[in-house]
Amino acid sequence: MGLTYPCNCSRRDIAAAASAPQEGAPLIGPDGMVYPGTCRNRPLSSAGPQDAIRLDMAKAIAALPTLPGFTETGPEHAGQHLLTADYLLNWIGDAVLARASMGAAYHLAVVVDDAAQQITHVVRGADLFTASFLHRLLQALLDLPAPIYHHHRLIRDDSGKRLAKRDDARAIARYRDDGATPESLRRLLGL
């Protein structure tokens, strides 16, 4: 579709470019600092083995006849949310779709995986709410169905740290193996 380009910027390069005095305060999106577009004009044919592949957000927006929306049922953002060019360009930016070290990046992988599994409802932590705007755009570009989203408050341990797989948080199955009942799990989660 001609909507991607290679990028060899490190996180340090992005931070330096985004925080240059003439740029003002860096904008923070779902993946951290919004990418300033340093490599945007590189042709995909110039991609090297260590390059990430980014979505050119301006081209992606232009490729769609209308920008879609999505339904959110979570407690903080319930309702219909429409994508706008301003929000996508300034608060999401040119997202990474593939990384040299892992192939498909999270945003592309989750969109394709949800469609392949015919997922109709996505339930996840509130920290991923803003990523839904990018996911809905990718679904529209790939002609994939849009699930209904529900973003809940983050679940934290006794010290207040967010529970996450990447931090080796315990799975519900492990709580069950340790003798937890559905009622005790509900109390633990504040339900």
- Could you give all domains of the chain from N- to C-terminal order, each with its CATH number? 4-154 (3.40.50.620)
Residue 166: pLDDT band (50, 70, 90) is low
Nearest to 163 by CA among 134, 129, 135, 188: 188
| Res. 154: pLDDT tops 80 | yes
CB 119 within 8 A of CB 148: no
pLDDT over 90 percentage in the chain: 56
Q: In this structure, which amino acid lies at residue 57?
A: M
Paired with 32 in beta bridges are 29
CB 105 within 8 A of CB 98: yes
List, for residues 42-67, the tens digit of each pLDDT value.
999 999 999 999 999 999 999 999 99
Q: In this structure, which amino acid lies at residue 108?
A: L
The first and second tokens of residue 80, run together, are 């219909």
Residues 6 or more apart whose Cβ sits within 8 Å of residue 72: 78, 79, 80, 81, 129, 132, 148, 149, 150, 151
List, for residues 52-111, the tens digit of each pLDDT value.
999 999 999 999 999 999 999 998 999 999 999 999 999 999 999 998 878 899 999 999
Q: d(Cα 52, Cα 48) in Å, to the nearest integer?
A: 9
Q: d(Cα 172, Cα 80) in Å, to the nearest integer?
A: 31
pTM of the entire predicted model: 0.83
Q: d(Cα 18, Cα 131) in Å, to the nearest integer?
A: 20
CA torsion through residues 188, 189, 190, 191, sign: negative
